[in-house]
A = this chain, B = another copy of it.
Amino acid sequence: MPRFQSKKLEKEVVLRDPVHEYIHIEDKVILDVLKTKEFQRMRRIKQLGPISYVFPGATHTRFEHNLGVYELTRRICNIFDKKYRSQSPGDGLWNPDNRLLVECAGLLHDVGHGPYSHTFEHLFGTNHEKLGQKIITDPNTEINHALKQVAPNFPELVASVIAKTYSNPQVVKMISSQADADRMDYLERDAYFTGVTYGEFDLSRILREIRPFSGGICFTSDGMHAVEDYIVARYQMYQQVYFHRVGRSMEVILRHLLKRAKLVYKEGQLEVTPSLAKFLDDNWTLDDYLKLDDGVMESNFSMWTNSADPILADLSVRYLYRKPFASVKINKETQNLLPKLRNLIKQAGFDPEYYTDTNSAFDEPYDAYKPTGKNANSQIEIMQDDGNLIELSQLSPLIRALNGTMQGDERFFFPKMMLSNDDEPQIFDPLYQEFQKYVKNGELRYIRRPKKTEK
């Protein structure tokens, strides 16, 4: 491949970052991309969406995360350039010509995300990966314009790295693998902003021990325990943060809220900003997509709190002012109880379609470490002194334990009111009490009915 050379900045630009101390920018193209409106808009899209309702500090955005991924790729490139520079083609070492390419890919890997991506996509058929590709390759975007200053086909190459179709696996894996710059940044960053310290791991050690090989990226054997620690940190973040029952509850509300809004809109009753209207009309362009952000969405929700539709108004209030549903764990057996419970909830005045849901954390878009699954070729390899690779879980009993297991739970969500046991008598108290018989220690359970003969 040709060596891409960006014009260097006269003076390095740095941004303060509480996670990596400084983001260092030496190339003009990086600064140019940073200044585009497609990139700047990510300042208004929270990295963790509704999880900030559970961890108040988690207000950080995709903007900082993308910068952080860029910074990590930059540091890894520094190490590779210095310690593992290819001497001859096919030696399995690092070709520095890829540097600018992988840095841009790191910077832009998430640029297609909109507000509440996963929920929004589900309801409006957008696709953040395809949109990200488009933002990079569409000749009308500022990002495309900035990248093209490097070379006419540079935008396509950057897009191909993110799409994992680029030929050099070292470049691809630095951004997309079980231990890539993306995950390293978001784990550290999410831990920092939530305050959940067990998400921290020894990043500086990991960076010391990471190295290229012919098939991608691996770690030297001295780094084995640091990688172990990183996997455990990931596990903890999933269990403690990403799968938090209240965060999922807020996401359930969000989904129902948007679903209801579509219905009300079809009935011609919805006040809505022009940018969102395009999506409700199912007639949107990339420009419309780029107008969306958390604030625009919440600004619509805010208008909807005055909606004549009581369900839409109520769900909008619940979302904006953090009034989550309650939830209980369910399993294959106890989910047979759900029709009965939904019926009680309906009798208590809540439409089950909008006021109940089940959610399985395993369905969440965070995948655990699965070296033998569909991510097979992204398993973590440890390089022995003699250059042989051994897959991580072969070396570590800790990782072996986590390997291939499914952690998480399935939950049934419903209005908190159903758990009410206020002193003051309420009209639906008998319903509530009946409902509560099925709940114990945060789980659903079958009620043992007294045998008739016992009477």
Which residue numbers of A lie inside 8 Å of B, CB to CB?
14-19, 21-22, 35-37, 40-41, 43-44, 52-53, 55-57, 59-61, 63-64, 67, 192-198, 200-202, 204, 208, 225-226, 228-229, 232, 235-236, 239-240, 271, 273-275, 291, 293-300, 302-303, 317, 320-323, 384-386, 397-398, 400-402, 405, 407, 440-442
Contacts and interface: CB of A to CB of B under 8 A. Distances in A.
A407 B397 contact: yes
Contact of A384 (B53, B202, B441): B441
A235 B60 CA distance: 26
A235 B64 CA distance: 27
A225 B198 contact: yes
A18 B302 contact: no
Given A398-B235, A441-B385, A302 B291 contact: yes
A229 B198 contact: yes
A402 B397 contact: yes
A421 B195 CA distance: 45
A78 B294 CA distance: 39
21 contacts: A16-B195, A18-B194, A21-B195, A37-B317, A37-B321, A41-B320, A41-B321, A44-B298, A56-B63, A57-B60, A59-B60, A198-B201, A200-B200, A225-B236, A228-B236, A273-B303, A275-B303, A386-B440, A386-B441, A398-B402, A401-B402
Chain B CB within 10 A, most for which of A201, A295, A323, A397: A295
Given A16-B194, A295-B295, 5 more contacts: A43-B322, A44-B298, A225-B239, A274-B303, A385-B441
Contacts of A274: 271, 303
Given A274-B303, A398-B235, A198 B202 contact: yes
A400 B397 contact: no
Contact of A18 (B37, B192, B271, B402): B192
A56 to B, nearest CB: 5
Contacts of A271: 274
Chain B CB within 10 A, most for which of A19, A201, A398: A398
Contacts of A402: 397-398, 401
Nearest to A305: B291
A41 B322 CA distance: 9
Chain B CB within 10 A, most for which of A14, A195, A228, A397: A195
Given A40-B320, A56-B63, A441-B384, A21 B398 contact: no
Contacts of A52: 43
